[in-house]
Structure formats: structure tokens, C-alpha cells
Amino acid sequence: MNCQELCSRFDERLDVDAYAGIDASENGLQVGPADQDVERVAFAVDAAVETIEQAAAEGTDLLVVHHGLLWGGDGQVTDLRYRRLQRLFEAEMALYAVHLPLDGHQDLGNAAGVADVLDLGNRAPFGEIDGEYIGQRGRAREPFAVEGLRERLSSELDTSGEDVQVLEFGPAEIVDIGVVTGSGTDWIDEAAAKGVDALVTGEGKQQVYHRAREHGIHVFLAGHYATETFGVRALAGLAEEWGVETTFVDHPTGL
């Protein structure tokens, strides 16, 4: 398949244009000739030297990632960015990145993947940012206790052996759950306003402790990487349906 055709299909399916004014990531084809043929595509969470080199070793034509190399305001190609781009050029490999659209897509996104793990029903968009959404909210089929929800996340997500941290300030029975993957604690006020019992995200910030306590909400910190493998895996499934050979480059950070 032509590289641009494949990237355009991803753009359309994820409604990338809707996030153009709110996402710092330069979503879409970031590196590489748009007219090259693509037979094998690698998928990874991060565009790092390690993931690029592993993808290159597997004969990849295009690397699709959640965290790309080009972000708004970037102007110089030096140091780490230079080395990463150098690896792409050496491998004659293209790079496609998609950030917030892949967090919030209600079927293919990272939050939807975590909601699947928790078997949430009655789902709705959650994590609003300028009229778009980067998360998902739903209701547990049966109420979770804190330890039950922690165990579900620990067993189903690749946390690299790290514990799922919990700020335990909510009700004994957890039914209404909001999910914003990665670094999503900024949406705790929205969670409180919507009556959410627990917010599931990847990593925390110092201030969230007091906000969670004062709002009376549990916060589950399951790892940035661990909560953001779902979207790229879903895109790999799409690419396979379109007749493209795929591979997943797994490089957990434990964070």
C-alpha cells in the first residue's frame, strides 16, 4: 500500500483534523516520503532510538507511534531528536504519529482499551478539552472494591512489575469510572463534577493528592506506558484488515 494512502486512512478514522488546534503533537506523517510503498508496518508507543532500531531490524517501512518526534514549537534538529531522525533516515523508514486523537477515540483509543479491560458499560466521552475528548467514562457491571480494581489493572496491564498506586479517597463501592490515559490527573475536577467514583490514569502529579482527597475520589495510577499500548495495537489490527503486515515493538518504561 502507498504510505500516504495508509496514513490518510488513519487520519480519517481517528478524526485527526478535529484535534489540530489543541494537540501539541504534529499528528500524521511526520517523517518520510509520502509516495513510498509500505509492506510492513511496526507499531510502538514511543518514537525512541530503541524502538526505531528494533523496527528497522524487522524490515519495517513505516513506524506508527503514539508519541512522535515533532511537537509544536520545536525548531532545532539536535541531540536526541537528531539521533532518532538519523536512525529513521538510515533505515529509510517513515514515521506516523498520532497523540490525542488516539487517546480519545471511543472505539480504538487508549481509554477505550482500558475501559474494555474493566468491562465498563454505558460508556460516554470523558476528559473534555476545547470541545473534544481524550478519555472515556463508564459504569462497572458489578461494583469494584479498591483492591479488586487495583488487581484487575495489575493483571491486565503491562506495568513492568510496578505496583498500581491508588489515592484511596472515594467510596467503598466503585461503580462510575473515568479513564484518561497517560498523564490525566488534570481531569479530576471534571470527574468530580460528573459524580465519578474513581479516575484511572497513568501517572500523577503532587497536587492531585489534595484534589482527590477534597473531592472524595479514588485515583488509580497504572503507568503512563501501561495505559497507552491499546491504541497502537488497535491501529495494527486495522492495518492487518487492510492487507498490511504488522509487528508490535514493545518497550515498556515501567513509568
Annotated binding site for a divalent metal cation: 66-67, 103, 224, 228
Question: Residues 6 or more apart from 104 whose CB is under 8 A from it?
Answer: 111, 125, 127, 132, 133, 134, 135, 136
* Residue 66 phi, psi dihedral angles, 5° rounding: -85, -45
- The three-class DSSP label of residue 127 is strand
Residues within the annotated binding site?
Answer: 66-67, 103, 224, 228
Nearest CA to 175 out of 202, 148, 153 is that of: 148
Locate 249 and state its grid cell. 515493538
- Residue whose C-alpha cell reads 498506586 in the numeric block: 165
Nearest CA to 230 out of 65, 117, 109 is that of: 109
Q: What residues does 94 pair with on adjacent strands?
A: 62
The amino acid at residue 247 is: T
